[in-house]
Structure 1
Amino acid sequence: MTQIPVQEAQGCLESLLDRAEKGETILITRPGRPPIRLRPTEKTDGKTLPSLSEWREELQVEGAPLREIVHLRRDDERY
């Protein structure tokens, strides 16, 4: 496991990412703070996270639109 100070890591982040992709674990240290561990993610079953637009399309919201709820609550409180 390699330790590297954050000031040095800023200048060579691309190479650190390449090393982490190959399986190396790198600790990025900052004075007075716990280190950050840079390593490859655990292997998954091939699933990846959906893009934001795909996620939004799959999102189902139930009930009245928020705009209508706000208008109804405003009217209830006025009278």
Structure 2
Amino acid sequence: MEIGAFEAKNTRGSLLDRVEKGEEIIITRRGNPIARLAPVRTERDIAQARKAMAELRELSKGNRLDGLKIKDLINEGRP
């Protein structure tokens, strides 16, 4: 979400509520981004992210493309 500096000043409380819920807000002045209001990342957040990455790596073990090539899948329109 982007918001102008004047409006950000006048709605500071509601912006902080949104950030507390995890949203990131870009504050602009005359259309140019000047600041980012974002939630603080805690050690717990980092630990949860590392755990999720480890689980994804474990899930992907043994999955094969059975002869398919990534380039062919991309050309077919798959991301």
Give me the TM-score of the superposition, normalised by structure 2. 0.49
More helix by share: 2
Give me the TM-score of the superposition, normalised by structure 1. 0.49
